[in-house]
């Protein structure tokens, strides 16, 4: 899992492997016919059929330059990566990640990777110093936020989501990004499944997806990144990335 040079480099999450393809929806043969019938007719007051007009014609995709040579595709299944285990952390009894201290987890990662400023363990030196000095989340100067717990892997158990302010050495809060990490338990041992840096308008969880909204470079637009669990790669991967038009706020009347 990688991170670009903070914070001016492009946003990065886990290594950008091939994005998973969306599964095709399976529909019964009766479903299209039923939908077409509803479009083509209705019932009047006397029970007579009313014609609703011609149905819209579906537009099939047209392939451009079909003679272009196709690139080679990787074959087989990807080898699952080794678990990104949090170093020097004891196993959690009972398999409940809520019993794990988010502060202890990040402390352990900082201690195991001193001076690392890029990659999954990267953070600014000043951030590392502030985390090391932090005795309690919420204490003055502590960059960590309270952890949040949601089931991200679909196994029925919560994962732990951690955020911390990553400020450049000598920088202000306006220069800071948010270090975003998520952890699960693998046989009771804490394993990191997401590490990225963002400058978010919001961070949300919908279902089992982590959704990050960030300002886009174009006025009136925002970036929307969706991270989802990939069972083969054993981590949260960048599942979708979009640039969306944002409607301007309506000024108050009067």
**195 lies in some domain:** yes
Instruction: Identify whether the C-beta of residue 197 lies closer than 8 Å to the C-beta of residue 3.
Output: yes
**5 lies in some domain:** no
Instruction: Identify whether the C-beta of residue 137 lies closer than 8 Å to the C-beta of residue 143.
Output: no
pLDDT tens per residue, range 230-250: 999 999 999 999 999 998 766
Into how many domains does the chain fold?
A: 1
Q: Would the pLDDT of 24 be above 60?
A: no
CATH code of the domain containing 207:
2.40.128
pLDDT of residue 186: 94
pLDDT tens per residue, range 92-104: 988 899 999 999 9
**180 lies in some domain:** yes
pLDDT of residue 47: 55
**136 lies in some domain:** yes
**20 lies in some domain:** no
**65 lies in some domain:** no
- C-beta atoms surrounding 227 within 10 Å: 26
**205 lies in some domain:** yes
- Mean pLDDT (whole number) for 117-122: 87
Q: Would the pLDDT of 19 be above 90?
A: no
pLDDT of residue 87: 92
- Which residue range is the domain that position 207 belongs to? 93-245
Single out the residue of 123, 159, 160, 157 nearest to residue 143, CA to CA: 123
């Amino acid at each position: 899992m990688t991170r670009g040079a903070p914070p001016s480099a492009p946003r990065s999450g886990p290594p950008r492997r091939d994005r998973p393809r969306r599964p095709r929806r399976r529909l019964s043969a009766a479903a299209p016919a039923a939908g077409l019938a509803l479009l083509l007719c209705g019932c009047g007051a006397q029970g007579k059929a009313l014609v609703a007009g011609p149905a819209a014609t579906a537009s099939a995709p047209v392939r451009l330059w079909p003679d272009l040579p196709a690139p080679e595709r990787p074959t087989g299944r990807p080898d699952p990566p080794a678990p990104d285990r949090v170093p020097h952390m004891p196993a959690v009894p009972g398999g409940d990640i809520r019993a794990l201290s988010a502060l202890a987890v990040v402390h352990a990662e900082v201690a195991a990777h001193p001076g690392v400023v890029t990659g999954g363990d990267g953070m600014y030196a000043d951030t590392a110093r502030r985390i090391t000095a932090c005795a309690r989340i919420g204490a003055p100067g502590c960059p960590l936020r309270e952890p949040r717990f949601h089931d991200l892997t679909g196994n029925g158990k919560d994962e732990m989501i951690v955020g911390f302010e990553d400020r450049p050495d000598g920088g202000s809060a306006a220069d800071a990004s948010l270090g975003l990490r998520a952890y699960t338990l693998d046989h009771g041992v804490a394993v990191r499944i997401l590490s990225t840096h963002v400058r978010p308008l919001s961070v949300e969880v919908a279902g089992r997806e982590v959704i990050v909204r960030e300002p886009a470079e174009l006025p009136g637009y925002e970036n929307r990144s969706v991270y989802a669990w990939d069972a083969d790669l054993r981590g949260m991967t960048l599942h979708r990335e979009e640039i969306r038009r944002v409607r301007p706020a309506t000024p108050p009347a009067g």
